[in-house]
């Protein structure tokens, strides 16, 4: 990292730009949160962005916020690549976790719906005239 420079002039210039980028990240995070809350209110008032679309936006914006916190506030962006990768690659497991478990939950719900007593009406079988004559 750059703060190994010890010349006083460098120090000040670096200090200013670092503080600036901290506040820039703050404003980005605040704006994203305000957009999220704004969209939620828009949906409450008008029902405009449909629920599925809205949820997709929320998840996308959440990941964006997470990126800014980890990269800027936690300075992971300034670490060397090997460290970044040892942290991020294991987290890829989450992709599988989320897909697998939510799929499981959804299929559970469908089974619940289908197997509820009385829910799947026995498909009324039209008695066929041709078959069933003394075959059994």
The footprint of another protein (CB under 8 A) covers: 1, 3-4, 11, 15, 18-19, 22-23, 25-26, 29-30, 33, 36-37, 40-41, 44, 55, 58-59, 62, 65-66, 69-70, 72-74, 79-80, 82-83, 86-87, 90-91, 93-94, 97-98, 101-102, 104-106, 108-109, 112-113
Evaluate whether 27 touches 68 at the Cβ level (below 8 Å).
no
| In the complex, minimum distance from the CB of residue 122 to another protein, in angstroms, rounded to a whole number | 22
Q: Which is nearer to another protein, 96 or 136 (CB)?
A: 96
Q: Which is nearer to another protein, 52 or 126 (CB)?
A: 52
| In the complex, minimum distance from the CB of residue 98 to another protein, in angstroms, rounded to a whole number | 6
| In the complex, minimum distance from the CB of residue 19 to another protein, in angstroms, rounded to a whole number | 7
Q: Which is nearer to another protein, 45 or 130 (CB)?
A: 45
Q: Which is nearer to another protein, 50 or 55 (CB)?
A: 55
Measure the CA–CA gap between 43 and 104, rounded to whole angstroms: 28
Characterise 23 by phi-psi region: left (phi > 0), alpha (psi -120 to 50), beta (else): alpha
How many helices and strands in the chain, by DSSP H and E? 4, 0
Handedness of CA 119, 120, 126, 131 (dihedral sign): negative
CA distances for 104 relative to 84, 100, 110, 112, 120, angstroms: 31, 6, 10, 12, 21
């Amino acid at each position: 990292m750059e703060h190994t420079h010890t010349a006083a002039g460098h120090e000040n210039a670096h200090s200013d730009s670092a503080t600036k980028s901290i506040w820039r990240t703050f404003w980005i995070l605040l704006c994203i949160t305000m957009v999220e809350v704004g969209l939620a209110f828009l949906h409450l008032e008008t029902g405009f962005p449909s629920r599925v679309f809205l949820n997709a936006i929320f998840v996308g914006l959440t990941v964006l916020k997470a990126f800014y916190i980890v990269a800027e506030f936690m300075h992971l962006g300034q670490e060397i690549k090997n460290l970044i990768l040892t942290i991020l690659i294991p987290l890829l497991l989450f992709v599988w976790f989320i897909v697998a478990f939510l799929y499981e939950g959804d299929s559970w719900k469908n089974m619940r719906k289908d197997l509820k007593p009385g829910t799947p009406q026995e498909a009324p079988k039209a008695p066929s005239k041709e078959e069933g004559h003394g075959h059994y």
